[in-house]
Structure 1
Amino acid sequence: MSGFEAGFEAGYAVGRVTAEELHGVARELAALLVDTVHGGASLGFLAPLDHGAATAWWRALGPDLADGRLQLWTVRAEADGRLAGTVQLRPAATANGRHRGEVAKLMVHPADRGHRLAGRLLAALEERARELGLRLLVLDTETDSPAERMYEAAGWTRVGSVPDYATDPDGVPQPTTIFFKALVD
């Protein structure tokens, strides 16, 4: 266990999801996405988000998972196997960007917040990014959101914000903050 992971609370397990496993967990991932969007998180979806549409969205990621254009992790409560969170890594596909990847759709169920699960998911993602030869990660998140503070605490560097970049789940335009993290050994 690394020093970074030593601070994480026990009782949860992080694992990577394969393309073959995606179909079986898509409904759980959809429920997490629906709860998170309905809770006000800006993840590219508007409320109300239909569970069936969310399930179809997750299942449509199968080809990207199969060919490596996407990496996906979940974190589960060890006591009951309940899905507690997820995150995605999208390595850049362009020739001049193969050293970087984008972090997307980091979600932790409201009932599981406060257990440093976002940090555990990011640690797993960063480890895999290094294995893939990635040296730079980027992401965006709603400005002044709790996620913004979490990324700063996890060592991410704020680049700046873009006004009215995306709408919140209610359709109201909000500013978005761009972050990066250099992966150094």
Structure 2
Amino acid sequence: MTVIRLTPRQLLTSLDGLTDLLTDTVNGGASVGFLAPLDRGAAADWWRSRAAAMEDGLLAVWAAYAAGRIVGTVSLAFPDKPNSRHRAELLKLMVHRDGRGQGTGRTLLATAQRAAAAAGVTLLHLDTETGSPAESLYRSAGWIRAGAIPDYARTPSGVLRPTTIFYKYIGAAEAADATEPVLSS
């Protein structure tokens, strides 16, 4: 597996793979902001809409490739306000259903943490569906549970579910590793 940070142009030229990943994730039941069944056109439009924020430096997107296709992705959203530039939000950690359980999610998470630290970010935060496999991943990776909000979002099937808010302090250790290429087998 290879993980790369996508440029806005690479995002646009990778739309088929990113669209496949997003539709597989949503149609497989993961709560990442969409209802199932997710149409490929809507998924591609959503990815296209990310390019402007990437151009502006407010969003970073990484893609994990294995066997020539995108098998996972993660994003970081950077605030545009001066009083919050020490933090970033981890967004849309997704792994294709047939690639789960192989360390892809953990590799993407570590990649985003290293990049955030290298950018001077000291605090990360995220939300995830309470009780989801993603929640277990974040806990095992040292993220701290801040609390839960009931009925926060609908699952892809339309059921209201709580979300758990997590945060993690990061720093020098992650930044020191930021220049190493991200490769995994």
2:142 is aligned with what amino acid?
G
Alignment RMSD (CA, Å): 0.8
Please name the residue that 2:177 is paired with: none
In structure 2, the partner of 1:30 is 19
Give the Cα–Cα distance (whole angstroms) in 1 for the partners of residues 38 and 111 of structure 2: 28
Q: Distance in 2 between matches of 1:95 and 1:184?
A: 19
Query: Which residue among 4, 14, 20 is the counterpart of 2:3?
Result: 14
Residue of structure 2 in register with 1:66 after alignment: 55
The separation in 2 between residues aligned to 1:34 and 1:117, in whole angstroms, is 18
For 2:20 and 2:123, locate their aligned partners in 1 and report how far apart those are by CA, in whole Å.
31
The answer (yes or no) to whether the contact 2:76–2:91 under 8 Å persists in 1 is yes
Q: For the residues of structure 2 that align with 1:20 and 1:50, how far apart are their CA atoms? A: 23
Partner amino acid, structure 2, of 1:135: T
SS of the residue corresponding to residue 105 of structure 2 reads helix
Query: SS of 2:14's equivalent?
Result: helix
Counterpart secondary structure, 2:94: strand
How far apart, in 1, do the equivalents of 2:30 and 2:143 lie? Answer: 19
The Cα shift of 1:62 comes to: 0.8
The equivalent of 1:4 in structure 2 is: none
Percent identical across equivalent pairs?
49
- Residue 50 of structure 1 is aligned with which of 9, 27, 39? 39
Q: What is the TM-score of this pair, normalised by structure 1?
A: 0.91
Output the amino acid matched with 2:49.
Answer: A
**Uncovered stretches (5+) of structure 2, i.e. residues with no partner:** 173-185
User: Structure 2 residue aligned with 1:161, among 139, 148, 164?
Assistant: 148
8 Å CA contact 2:74, 2:90 repeated in 1: yes
Which deviations, in whole Å up to 9, do the C-alpha atoms of 1:8-53 show, x marking residues without a partner?
xxxx111110011111111211111111101110011001110011
Q: Which moved more, 1:174-183 or 1:108-117?
A: 108-117
1:137 & 1:64 partners in 2: Cα distance? 18
Letter in 2 for 1:64: A
After TM superposition, give the deviation of residue 60 of structure 1 in Å: 1.1
* Matched residues, number: 172
CA distance in 2, matches of 1:55, 1:27: 8
Q: Does 1:175 align with 2:162?
A: yes
Q: Which ranges of structure 1 fall in alignment gaps of 5 or more residues?
A: 1-11
Deviation at 1:184, TM superposition (A): 2.7
Structure 1 residue runs of 4+, over 3 Å off?
Answer: none
